[in-house]
A and B are shown apart, each in its own frame.
Chain A
Amino acid sequence: MTKVHVDMNLCQSHGECTYVAPEIFELGDDDVLVWKEEVDPSLREKAREAADVCPMLAIRVEE
């Protein structure tokens, strides 16, 4: 499995990750981000893409 970390001290709910990888990320109630911390390796590229577009650089994808 691929691990997805989000630093919630940095996240400001832009929602960019929810747009490029809705399978992993979602803005929940009060616009707070919820995400899957472990995803199938087939989603690794999408997770990386989400990390790249995060304006707060809050997402890290473990190899």
Chain B
Amino acid sequence: MARPIVIVGASLAGLRAAQALRNGGHEGEVILVGAEAHAPYTRPPLSKELLAGVQEPEQAALPGGKVDVEWRLGTTATALDLERRQITFEDGERLTYGKLLIATGARPRRWPGDPIGLDGIFMLRDLDDALALRAAFATGPRLAVVGAGFIGCEVAATARKLGLDVTLIDIAPQPMTALGPAVGARCAELHRAHGVELRLGAGVDGFEGDGRLEAVRLADGTSVDADVAVVALGAVPNTDWLADSGLELQPGVVCDATLAARDAEDVFCAGDAAAWPHPMAEGGVIRIEHWTNAAEQGPAAARNLLAAPAQRTPYAAVPYFWSDQYDLKIQVVGLAGQAQRMRVLEAAPDGGRLVLGGERDGRLVAAVGFNAPRRLPFYRGRLAGMPPIEDVIAAVAADEKALGDPAGATVPA
């Protein structure tokens, strides 16, 4: 009997991969293994609508969660033996696969001194985290957010909407540092305008309290009084269980362009845990921790898993992600992290809507829209070719649908 296809990871990438296997006509055995006990759900609302209490967990359920495969939820993989094609689980059980798709995602980076041993300190990744934080918010605490990246900024915005006192702390001089100072400065201004206390360029030394959190201690000797702290220091891929497998980890699973793990047979990877050579990265591998990548890469890896090697397709979609903070929707296409600088390419006369272009060596590698969703396809279609920035500027000038002449200020990224 043929050995099963095993998908380890039952969130967005894993679920979509399972659906793609069935849609691709695969009728054989498929086992979908997930560490969480919950049926698959979508994570973006966890820092926004669900945290704010305007959405309930049922509304976050991913459609098609009942795909006809064998489900093993609440099951954590702890080791992989490539030679025997065996996965070991927490309870010691082993499973032999014919083909393996790794979609174990990522988890929040922990505070270095964790466990801190104080109540009132939270991280945000899964549904249980979000519900626990929501319950804490209901008591009207003073909130300190440690880390002003995407999750930190979104949590701060949601907390302000709920009327909480919020201090946003980061060692970087700007929030959203991954998008460079031009975007970061605008985000800082936005949070200030909404009443967030910003402590930027401020390192955190530790947390104080007696059983319960009372203050966050900063490196400059001052402290921020807080009843609740959210530690939002980014994410690390869940690849520890693969440490002894022989798979190349960086720390994502290093794959070829078709999402097949390098130097391994019949092993594929998708989502936050996958590192692969995107054509825009020009030889390097990238890893993307965003919704759309998981949604599209899961099926892409599944289709390649079913295909003969010569029929596999490289995964080269231009990455997309977004962040909602207050009434601002930031949308990013391309590889913003690789931009050397960002400049405003178009802006509405009132300045409320604009698009910044990220350039590397004079070529467009990313576009960042502020409340400008209609303008994104213009850039997205061009980004795969990484055109010279001057060509893009000329095309914007010739486009009657562009938002307007930019201030033209160039800001180093």
Chain A residues engaging chain B, CB cutoff 8 angstroms: 12-16, 18-19, 22, 27, 31, 52-53, 55, 57, 60
A16–B333 CA distance with the chains assembled, in angstroms: 11
Would A16 and B292 be within 8 Å (CB), given that A55-B322, A57-B42, A57-B62 are in contact? yes
**Interface bits B358-377 vs A (CB < 8 Å: 1, else 0):** 00000000000001011011
25 A–B pairs (Cβ distance < 8 Å), ordered by A = A12-B329, A13-B329, A14-B331, A14-B373, A15-B373, A15-B374, A15-B376, A15-B377, A16-B320, A19-B377, A19-B380, A22-B377, A27-B373, A27-B374, A31-B374, A52-B16, A52-B295, A53-B292, A53-B295, A53-B296, A55-B44, A55-B291, A55-B292, A55-B322, A57-B63
A8 to chain B, nearest CB (A): 15
Q: Which residue of A lies closest to B20 (CB)?
A: A52
> For A18, what are the chain B residues with a Cβ–Cβ distance below 8 Å?
377
Residue B197 CB within 8 A of the other chain:
no
B57 to chain A, nearest CB (A): 14
Residue B324 CB within 8 A of the other chain:
yes
Q: Which residue of A lies closest to B333 (CB)?
A: A19
- For chain B, the bracket of interface size reads 20 to 34
Q: Which residue of B lies closest to A22 (CB)?
A: B377
> For B371, what are the chain A residues with a Cβ–Cβ distance below 8 Å?
31
A53 to chain B, nearest CB (A): 6
> For B16, what are the chain A residues with a Cβ–Cβ distance below 8 Å?
52
B66 to chain A, nearest CB (A): 15
> For A16, what are the chain B residues with a Cβ–Cβ distance below 8 Å?
292, 320
Q: Which residue of B lies closest to A28 (CB)?
A: B374
> For A55, what are the chain B residues with a Cβ–Cβ distance below 8 Å?
44, 291-292, 322
B355 to chain A, nearest CB (A): 13
A5 to chain B, nearest CB (A): 12
> For A19, what are the chain B residues with a Cβ–Cβ distance below 8 Å?
376-377, 380
Interface of chain B residues 53 through 107 with chain A (CB within 8 A): 62-63
Task: Decide if A13 touches B373 in the complex (CB within 8 Å).
Answer: yes
- 12 A-B pairs besides A12-B329, A16-B292, A53-B292 with CB distance below 8 A are A14-B331, A14-B373, A15-B374, A15-B377, A19-B377, A22-B377, A31-B371, A52-B299, A53-B295, A55-B44, A57-B63, A60-B63
A13–B369 CA distance with the chains assembled, in angstroms: 13
> For A13, what are the chain B residues with a Cβ–Cβ distance below 8 Å?
329, 373
A12–B322 CA distance with the chains assembled, in angstroms: 11
A15 to chain B, nearest CB (A): 4
> For B374, what are the chain A residues with a Cβ–Cβ distance below 8 Å?
15, 27, 31
In order of increasing CB-CB distance, the 4 nearest A-B pairs are: A15-B373, A27-B374, A19-B377, A13-B373
A18–B296 CA distance with the chains assembled, in angstroms: 16
Interface of chain B residues 24 through 67 with chain A (CB within 8 A): 42, 44, 62-63
B347 to chain A, nearest CB (A): 16
Task: Decide if B380 touches A14 in the complex (CB within 8 Å).
Answer: no
A55–B292 CA distance with the chains assembled, in angstroms: 7
A53–B44 CA distance with the chains assembled, in angstroms: 13
A15–B371 CA distance with the chains assembled, in angstroms: 11
> For A60, what are the chain B residues with a Cβ–Cβ distance below 8 Å?
63
**Interface bits B319-358 vs A (CB < 8 Å: 1, else 0):** 0101010000101000000000000000000000000000
> For A31, what are the chain B residues with a Cβ–Cβ distance below 8 Å?
371, 373-374
A18–B380 CA distance with the chains assembled, in angstroms: 12
Q: Which residue of A lies closest to B380 (CB)?
A: A19
Most A C-beta atoms less than 10 A away, residue of B44, B63, B295, B373:
B373
> For A53, what are the chain B residues with a Cβ–Cβ distance below 8 Å?
292, 295-296
A52–B294 CA distance with the chains assembled, in angstroms: 11
Q: Which residue of A lies closest to B321 (CB)?
A: A55
A19–B381 CA distance with the chains assembled, in angstroms: 9
> For A57, what are the chain B residues with a Cβ–Cβ distance below 8 Å?
42, 62-63
> For A27, what are the chain B residues with a Cβ–Cβ distance below 8 Å?
373-374
Interface of chain B residues 119 through 167 with chain A (CB within 8 A): none
B311 to chain A, nearest CB (A): 19
A60 to chain B, nearest CB (A): 8
A53–B290 CA distance with the chains assembled, in angstroms: 12
Q: Which residue of A lies closest to B296 (CB)?
A: A53
A35–B324 CA distance with the chains assembled, in angstroms: 24
